[in-house]
Chain A
Amino acid sequence: MWDYSAKLKDHFFNPRNVGEIPGASGVGEVGSLACGDALTLFIKVDDRGVITEAKFKTFGCGSAIASASALTEMIVGKTVEEAMQITNQDIADFLGGIPREKMHCSVMGREALEAAINNFRGLGAPQARKGEIVCKCFGVTDEEIRRAVRENHLKTVEDVTHYTKAGGGCGQCRDAIARLVDEVIAAERAQAAQAPRRLTTVQKIKKIEDVLEREVRPTLRADGGDIDLVDVDGNRVIVALRGVCSHCPGSGATLSGYVETKLRELVDPDLVLEEAPK
């Protein structure tokens, strides 16, 4: 017996927006009878790009029906761009949580939404699935597995099975899934380790100039002041304040509290700001 939330049960017993939309702007079909769940999502989009109507038909278990019902409520009133930002976790959160073993139901919702929007954008019938099939039982590709691992921070083969069904059949692909999980985690670690060092000195200087120009100068100029980049030495950024700023008693606070914060946020968290000797 699954521990379904009250909201999930409500959406299962009283599903919203069941049906089809004749002449829909976009239709997304995902899943299959063989796999035990399938979802067809219909959306109507107005000329401002807003989803005005959504309907669904689902073959599946309690959480599959509830996820589809929830999705239709979540997307109506949103623009297509806003709807594209919805993740499977958002669907699960909307329902007050989904049992972990059933997260693939929320993934199916997100996939149907993407398919419907692609269809609306004229990208044709549901696009060919990206990547190579890894799980033959459920027809899940390596790209789909990588995406689920990245977006949901999955750690184990079991996690992947809960979210995509991959590996839940004959089990022959479990080693391959384990390799994909390791690969994504390793890539994320490498990226995290590299991130601060990614900028070359020239790139760093250009980026600092850019931030000073766009973010900092307009504010200072409004007060009759200005700022110039004097030098960049490693992570030390040497600047000179001009105009009224140069003899303003609050200039120290401006530099450390405002300019440095902006540079750290937008360029590199390790930057240290220094004022050039007057």
Chain B
Amino acid sequence: MKTVYLDNNATTSVAPEALDAMLPFLRQRYGNPSSMHAFGGLVARDLQRAREQAAALIGADPSEILFTSCGTESDSTAIRSALEVNPGRRHIVTTRVEHPAVLTLCQWLGDHGYKVTELPVDGNGMLDLAEVERAVKADTAIVSVMWANNETGVLFPVERIAEMCRERGILFHTDAVQAVGKIPMDMRRNRIDMLSFSGHKLHAPKGVAVLYVRRGTRFAPFLIGGHQEHGRRAGTENVASIVALGRACELAAQGLEAENTRVRALRDRLEAELLRRIPDARLNGHPRARLPNTTNLSFEFVEGEAILLHLDQAGICASSGSACTSGSLEPSHVLRAMGVPFTFAHGSVRLSLSRYSTDADVDAVLAALPPIIERLRAISPFSRTRMPSAARLAPDPAHKH
């Protein structure tokens, strides 16, 4: 059975070109770029080329690119750096719908002497710029807002928020892990101070990522040790993966138009057909202000993990914001922040495409999913005509998390 992989917001396949680019560095060219001898030293040129490729994708200068080990490291480095260079400021602004790489760190900082404001979102998952303006204070050290939400694909007005922060002398960071390579961006035309993105979300291998730090931004390193990355990130470079990341960035830049035309058309067909064929379904997230590859749909009266198990049986990889798959007992914090009704929140499915997705993949889902939902609804005690009583909808409606 062919695997239909529609979970590209979780991770992506390694592009064959990226794999080819990295292999020599795992075989004969294993030298350390810091070495004095040519065998190692020449590898530094390949690192530099990867830095240029990564910079080109986002319109940055190569000197503004730091290579790190993962998106989480990039996020942690950015936020902790901002706090360290602003020792007098104890306030952080972020959103309720951030990835745990930012949200859990901010909550931890909240337990360690910092004040954290988590901004709400509306029913479409959108952020109100006025809310951000109201939240920032004289002692705000950093505002960190994701560029695109990983679960819904909803885009945030980060360039306008960056502008507002710059006027107030506050550092701005964005977790752009889901956005880079999917939508065009040009760091020469915005005021974002720091930006994170990760290799494995854009067809490079896992274990390599980027932190963009705008030239002139005060910065304190997270990993301290050797002189690598100009002393801003110590540790011997993950050369092979960085080279692959560079190549993947180049491919992403070339594929950006296809991503926003062909991939978007596939996603739109998938989404529209599912909503047409399956009753009592809804789209989670703003219909237009979204990444071109992501759709998050909820099916009422059924539970997400059960849907995923059936999809898996049909060879289709997807993910869900249901309680049982989130690793906790509650549905996704993103859907809860959006106020998605409980009758829908547990039955959410995220399908995320890539430039390798095909019409056949979309057809496979269109063939498999409607009967799965129908089958699970036949087992479910709830339906449109048999809604649970108010008491069974929520154990204590007055209780808010």
Contacts and interface: CB of A to CB of B under 8 A. Distances in A.
Interface of A: 9, 12-13, 15, 18, 29, 31-40, 57-62, 64-65, 102, 104, 133, 136-139, 161, 165, 168-170
A61 B309 CA distance: 9
B69 to A, nearest CB: 24
A65 B329 contact: no
Contacts of B378: 18
B305 A62 contact: yes
A138 B329 contact: yes
Contact of A57 (B309, B310, B381): B381
A32 B379 contact: no
Contacts of B381: 29, 38-40, 57-59
Interface of B: 301-306, 309-310, 313, 322-325, 328-331, 342-343, 346, 378-382, 388, 391-396, 399, 401
Given A36-B322, A61-B305, 10 more contacts: A18-B378, A34-B395, A38-B381, A58-B380, A58-B381, A59-B382, A60-B306, A61-B303, A138-B329, A139-B395
A10 B391 CA distance: 33
Please provide the 5 A-B residue pairs with the shortest distance between their CB atoms, ordered closest to farther.
Answer: A139-B395, A168-B329, A61-B324, A61-B305, A57-B381
B313 A13 contact: yes
B396 A36 contact: no
Among A12, A35, A102, A139, residue most surrounded by chain B Cβ atoms (within 10 Å): A35
Among A15, A31, A104, A136, residue most surrounded by chain B Cβ atoms (within 10 Å): A136
B381 to A, nearest CB: 4
B395 A33 contact: no
Contacts of A37: 303
A117 B302 CA distance: 27
B331 A36 contact: yes
Given A59-B301, A59-B303, A169-B330, A32 B346 contact: no
A139 B393 CA distance: 11
Contact of B329 (A12, A29, A33, A169): A169
A36 B395 contact: no
A38 B395 contact: no
Among B301, B391, B395, B401, residue most surrounded by chain A Cβ atoms (within 10 Å): B395
A31 B324 CA distance: 15
Contacts of B325: 61
Contact of A136 (B330, B393, B399): B399
Nearest to A64: B303
B323 A36 contact: yes
A64 B331 CA distance: 16
B320 to A, nearest CB: 10
A57 B379 contact: yes
A61 B346 CA distance: 10
A12 B309 contact: yes
